[in-house]
Structure 1
Amino acid sequence: MGIPILAPYLGDSCKSMNMGEFTVKSFDLTTIDGSWTHTDANGEPCPIYGFLITHKEMGRMLYITDCELIKWRFKDINHILLGVNYDKDLIDRDNTGKANHVFRGHLSIDTACDFVKANYSNSLQNVIMCHLSAENSDRDSFIEKMKKVAYGANVDVAERGKEWVLRKGDECPF
């Protein structure tokens, strides 16, 4: 169909793909020792990748979801779209199978805040959280916790139909 596809699981990891005005670069979401940071429903590790998306008007955006942790550090990121699934205090530990999958395949709000804090710069404009668990998350408390580490950046949660205008920080949005 002529649609370019980046397939990092086929060996394209850390390669860039130019898509008109966008450049997309994938990176593996593994631990320092190379283990994958996501498991499938059976508890088996599975490959997972994050993406750095660059556009001349938008700047640089990270898209990362479905991982337990992120070992990478990035410079001058304008926008972060981050899968933040659970709060450890809200997990039902009696259902050990599901709890293990949540822990081994998703970011907690605390880990997400640590990541944003470690990658914070004056360039950061937006932190948008997605993939919140219906049972194990609290939208409002996630926003409040993230605002404490994202300082002046807009912090929000993705919802169906919601839109954001993503621009570089040096451009007036009006």
Structure 2
Amino acid sequence: MELTVIGSSSEGNAYVLQNEREALLLEAGKPFKQVLAALEGQVNKVVGCLITHEHGDHAGRINEFLKYALPVYASQGTIENAKIRTSWKPTAIRQTEDGNGYLPLTLGNFRVIPFATKHDTAEPLGFYIWHEETGGVLFATDTFYLPCKFKGLNNILIECNYDPEILARRVESGDIPAALQERVRRSHLSYYTCLDALRANDLTAVNNIVLIHISEGNGNPTAFREGIQRATHKTVYTAKPGLKIKFNKSPF
């Protein structure tokens, strides 16, 4: 299995997990033509597209994806706020009967367990994804903390958006308003909270940690990667457009 990063910033987010037979898309925040290029035109192997929330950098291109009649999945709250303009509609991810969780999805050979995240949107989600090639994959972005722990992790895509010290300095210098600082704190995962989330989970079998959605003005990609690599002793990447990684359960 291979992970391709199409985009991972406030300008647009999209990722592809694929092998020769099937592909799972994560987010719809970049032009579909870029995703199509990553698929080498093989749109028929897409088993689904998972969207975390309705903000434009994650769902702004959803209509382009739907025009290809792709199976797109998101929470009901996301669908209601994502400005759908096509006859082909996304599928709502259903909550459990008790309302305390979400029903799992089977998309081709991918098994997906959605979970609630903490963001300033209607009904944001993260996803635990399992495939026999990748093992357990955590995909978590745009959340100010992770409310869950996860078993059986082999690969991780996790937001590492900002450094609180950089954010505070920018407010002090007048570069950004204090209100924006509060909004970032209440909607995104900081470097330190990202590190805490990783430490809270068993990383023994993890092969790759990919830091996603790093803020251009409030983050430090090199420092984030080096710090988390020292703390976890794992292979750590910062997501950039065009990055491709072997995303397998076995490191070999």
Q: Deviations over 1:129-153 (max 9, x none)?
A: 11111110101110111113322x2
> C-alpha distance in 2, partners of 1:11/1:168?
26
Equivalent pairs counted in the alignment come to 158
Q: Secondary structure at the match of 1:107?
A: coil
1:90 maps onto 2:90 in alignment: no
- Which aligned runs of 4 or more in structure 1 are off by greater than 3 angstroms? none
Query: Quick check: 84-93 or 13-22, which moved more?
Result: 13-22
Q: Which amino acid aligns with 2:242?
A: G
1:76 maps onto 2:152 in alignment: yes
Question: Which of 69, 93, 114 is equivalent to 2:196?
Answer: 114
Q: How far off its partner does 1:2 sit?
A: 5.1
Q: Secondary structure at the match of 1:72?
A: coil
Q: Which amino acid aligns with 1:5?
A: V
Q: Secondary structure at the match of 1:7?
A: strand
Q: How far off its partner does 1:22 sit?
A: 1.0
Counterpart residue number, 1:46: 122
Uncovered stretches (5+) of structure 1, i.e. residues with no partner: 30-36, 40-44
RMSD in angstroms over aligned alpha carbons?
A: 1.7
Report which of the two structures shows the higher radius of gyration computed on alpha carbons.
2
Counterpart residue number, 1:162: 243
1:143 maps onto 2:225 in alignment: yes
- Give the TM-score normalised by structure 1: 0.84
> C-alpha distance in 2, partners of 1:112/1:157?
13
> C-alpha distance in 2, partners of 1:121/1:49?
22
Q: Secondary structure at the match of 1:6?
A: strand
> C-alpha distance in 2, partners of 1:156/1:7?
27
- Give the TM-score normalised by structure 2: 0.59
Structure with greater strand percent: 2
> C-alpha distance in 2, partners of 1:11/1:130?
23
Counterpart residue number, 2:213: 131
> C-alpha distance in 2, partners of 1:109/1:83?
8
Q: How far off its partner does 1:21 sit?
A: 1.4
